[in-house]
Structure 1
Amino acid sequence: MNIKLRYGNKNIEFSLKDENVAGVLYPQSKINKKAEEIIAQAMSAPISSEPLYKIVERKKPDSVAIIISDATRPIPYKLMLPPVLNELHLAGIKSQQITIIIGTGCHRANSCEETKLALGEDIIREYQVINHNCDDELTSIGRLTDGTELLINTMAAKANLKIALGSIIPHKLAGYSGGSKAILPGISGRAAITANHSMMNDPRAAEGKWLNNPVRRQMDEAAKLAGLEYILNVVCNENNQVMVAVAGDVENAWQEGVKHCQQISSVSVPYKCPVTIISCGGYPRDLNVYQSIKSITNASKLTEKRGTIVVVARCQDGYGDDIFCQWLKDAFRPEDLIERINNKFVLGGHKGSVVADIVKRHEVVLVSDLTEKEVKNLFMVYQPNINSALRYVEKKHGPEYRAWVIPYAGLVLPKVER
């Protein structure tokens, strides 16, 4: 069987014996309409909300903030932004009244090239586009019910109308991405993001779970406090083509989108395999280790205990977070990372504990741009290419091993039927 996996901006192709492949798992991907039509239909019938132009007519805002995701999220903003901007302009908003804020959370800022690739030169030329910084230019807008002070991007805080554009995919902590996540962590300060993510060990804070999820509940609270009034969210397939769009109320529109995402991303298998072979889906999903962990977590759900996960992820940005990197360098064994996060939650370090939890249960073989030393710091097995990784797997598990193959592991919501 010929297999093709994304690696950065290219494909890696290899062959597996048919008897080694238990199945190749994809999310649903069928497209019934053009993306422009899907988005227009969603905006013409917003959920639990007035149309955007009517919100503008009612509020008469002096300034508008449009919050988008950063370079780690492959979202079709070139299709989503124009209809939103057009509706704002038709309602009387001028270009100079609009600021597009890249909601980086605690990630690094988008580079100029990344922003140009995501938005296009015309939008960058006509509108102010800024990166959020979770440590600078923040304004307090009150406290959350747990007492955490919520500081958000100052430009967003000053805006009379706040709009968020994003995508909905399974998310390890928040259940699903999108919706109120644009505010927290998107444009929030580090302390609030830390408080929110510190609930990661609550069993209700898990991928695919959003009802009674304390992480998501706090995100929703933050969005209300910030005054986020309108969202446009999409559900895309592995090729980043729009399958579903929802617009309107922050919570209700998002929940409708989640229902569609559940159907599209859910993958059920009858049993676990000793081997799982995955790609994160290429750039930007494999931009760094920090982002790639999401896909590895999904693969672990379909892999037998002590089994092997082969990960194809370029990771051209390295580990992706300075604190995460330092924690890995400081650890002598996976247990050190878990003990450290249990003693004190530190944003960035929390990803180290996720890695530790996985490598304690499974062997992870990484094919990437990282050096052998960098891979070993992750407590993973270094292999220079996919063919050497497959030879390693066959030597360990024997020639008759069975494997699940997941070409877009970050986009599936895997479940074992028994």
Structure 2
Amino acid sequence: MTERTYSFAYGRGEKSFTIDDDLVISEVRTRPFPVIPKDQIREKVLETIRNPIGTKPLAEIVKPGDTVAFICNDPTRVANSFDFMPVFVEELNRLGIPDENMRIVFALGTHRAMTEEEMAAQVGADVAKRLKTYNSISTIDEDFIEFGTTSRGTPVRINKHLCDVDHIIMTGTIVHHYFSGYGGGRKAILPGCAAMETVRVNHSFMLDPKAALGVTVGNPCYEDQMEGVEIFAKGRSLFLFNAILNAKHEFVGMFAGDWREAHREACKFVDQVYGAVIPQEADLVVASCGGYPKDINVYQMQKTMDNAMCAVREGGVVILFADCEEGSGSAVLEETFRRLKTPEAIRAELEGNFRIGANKAFAVTRPLSKARFILVTSLDPELAHDMLFTAAVKTPEEAFALAREYVGEKPTVILMPEGSLTVPRVE
């Protein structure tokens, strides 16, 4: 027996465990693409926006004195905006756009409002001081303007701070998304800067089996988001900048240009970076979300559950390292589980009355229908039990002892230290 010790990211630190290496059939990691060195980021951002995909460079789009709104990620999505936002501001200053003609709208979707400190941490203190910043809070009705309805019935209501400017620059990063196919691109606007009812109707299409990870064609959520942004974009100037990061939050790719074409190209690259072939589905998957903020709460942790589900056999076990320092992340999520108690009841209610928060309860139950999930977490064990997890324990040792009760002493094991990013598949 060859024992080996591994350390997986957990919250703001790490957790270590020892395992018989002979049992490990695969360690799933992002592919080692060359990193853009820190001292070359500025140059790479400029090169990317000056040679865009499917549209003219910014220098030919913006005119001196124009107004610009940037859309930036909130803290639940790592984007390293603080690296590229100063470059954008400097470039637009050079093109004749003063600081007072620029603003930042943070794409919260349905997440909580950001503090001033969080805004400064996201985009850099200097940029936050120089540009006006706004939270797009989906529940403040008067902050949204309606532009029509998609063919699937989604009202297109977009934050007013994007509606009175000459140009919108959509920024962010791209990873696979468990029901919208991929993040990035149109998601900066819908759901990022959309009203709660817009998000609610759009997300109701996640109940469709075609609303799946890495799927765009025929995916009703993705197609509805694209149509919604098309309706809003009529007669407007939209420019996209999306980056791809590795598990260490380093840049490995940058794409800019037309919000549709540049995103399509970027998604092909995302498949190369995050896609991983495994020999077979394993009895036991040991996964980490990748630490903070990927495991800040159950709401965010669920994305890793979907990826781990791709690697575990039917009836197997997933040990998931997820601190969840902010608990579940949603009172509605907790209330839905406590009241309805089974996956079938949750789905049935959503089919009749789709609610944000309750939809995440459905998302959590999908992986649970395939395998047992044992959490190594600071989450309240009673809450974890209400949410149908097999157990919530404090240490890896407890988790492995419990897992052995279901998969025996010699299970096949797949390790997923970068679980929020990597998408395993058997070829």
Instruction: Provide TM-score, normalisation by structure 1.
Output: 0.95
Shift of 1:201: 2.5
Query: Which residue does 1:292 correspond to in 2?
Result: 301
In structure 2, what is the Cα distance between the partners aligned to 1:349 and 1:390? 31
Query: Which residue does 2:222 correspond to in 1?
Result: 216
The amino acid that maps onto 2:180 is: A
Contact 1:53-1:90 within 8 A present in 2 as well: no
Contact 2:176-2:213 within 8 A present in 1 as well: yes
Instruction: Kindly tell me the number of residue pairs found equivalent between the two proteins.
Output: 415
Shift of 1:14: 1.6
In structure 2, what is the Cα distance between the partners aligned to 1:179 and 1:101? 15
Of residues 343, 365, 373, the one that matches 2:374 is 365
In structure 1, what is the Cα distance between the partners aligned to 2:159 and 2:69? 10
In structure 1, what is the Cα distance between the partners aligned to 2:42 and 2:103? 23
Q: Helix, strand or coil: the match of 1:124?
A: helix
Q: Helix, strand or coil: the match of 1:411?
A: coil
The amino acid that maps onto 2:104 is: I
Shift of 1:396: 3.1
Contact 2:36-2:250 within 8 A present in 1 as well: no
Return closer, same or farther for 1:22/1:111 CA change in 2, 3 Å cut-off: farther
Of residues 144, 150, 154, the one that matches 2:160 is 154
Deviates more, 1:346-355 or 1:241-250: 346-355
Tell me whether 1:398 sits opposite 2:408 in the alignment.
yes
Deviations 1:86-133 (A, max 9, x none): 221112111111110110011111233332322221111111111111
In structure 1, what is the Cα distance between the partners aligned to 2:164 and 2:330? 29
Query: Which residue does 1:414 correspond to in 2?
Result: 424
Contact 2:277-2:425 within 8 A present in 1 as well: yes
Query: Which residue does 1:31 correspond to in 2?
Result: 34
Query: Which residue does 1:6 correspond to in 2?
Result: 9
Q: Which contiguous aligned blocks of 4+ residues in structure 1 show a shift greater than 4 angstroms?
A: none
Q: Helix, strand or coil: the match of 1:86?
A: helix
- Identical residues among aligned pairs (%): 27
Of residues 205, 209, 234, the one that matches 2:211 is 205
Shift of 1:32: 4.8
Q: Helix, strand or coil: the match of 1:16?
A: strand
Query: Which residue does 1:389 correspond to in 2?
Result: 399
Shift of 1:149: 2.2
The amino acid that maps onto 2:415 is: V
Query: Which residue does 1:257 correspond to in 2?
Result: 266
Query: Which residue does 1:303 correspond to in 2?
Result: 312
Of residues 192, 195, 208, the one that matches 2:198 is 192
Query: Which residue does 2:253 correspond to in 1?
Result: 244
The amino acid that maps onto 2:272 is: Q
Tell me whether 1:145 sits opposite 2:151 in the alignment.
yes
In structure 2, what is the Cα distance between the partners aligned to 1:45 and 1:10? 39
Shift of 1:76: 0.9
Specify every segment of 5 or more residues in structure 2 that has no aligned partner in the other structure, as ranges. Answer: none
Return closer, same or farther for 1:395/1:147 CA change in 2, 3 Å cut-off: closer
In structure 2, what is the Cα distance between the partners aligned to 1:304 and 1:64? 49
In structure 1, what is the Cα distance between the partners aligned to 2:322 and 2:380? 13
In structure 2, what is the Cα distance between the partners aligned to 1:198 and 1:373? 29
In structure 2, what is the Cα distance between the partners aligned to 1:416 and 1:12? 28
Query: Which residue does 1:75 correspond to in 2?
Result: 79
Contact 2:289-2:304 within 8 A present in 1 as well: yes
Contact 1:171-1:177 within 8 A present in 2 as well: yes
Shift of 1:61: 6.2
Deviations 1:312-332 (A, max 9, x none): 111111111222121122123
Deviates more, 1:351-360 or 1:287-296: 351-360
Contact 2:381-2:392 within 8 A present in 1 as well: yes
In structure 1, what is the Cα distance between the partners aligned to 2:407 and 2:148? 56
The amino acid that maps onto 2:25 is: A
In structure 2, what is the Cα distance between the partners aligned to 1:345 and 1:147? 14
Matches for 1:336-351 after TM superposition, within 5 Å: 336-351=345-360
Deviations 1:141-166 (A, max 9, x none): 23323343211111111222111101
Specify every segment of 5 or more residues in structure 1 that has no aligned partner in the other structure, as ranges. Answer: none
Query: Which residue does 2:283 correspond to in 1?
Result: 274
Tell me whether 1:168 sits opposite 2:178 in the alignment.
no
RMSD between aligned residues: 1.6
Query: Which residue does 2:51 correspond to in 1?
Result: 45
Q: Helix, strand or coil: the match of 2:179?
A: coil
In structure 1, what is the Cα distance between the partners aligned to 2:399 and 2:351? 34
Contact 1:52-1:87 within 8 A present in 2 as well: no
Q: Helix, strand or coil: the match of 2:163?
A: helix
Instruction: Provide TM-score, normalisation by structure 2.
Output: 0.93
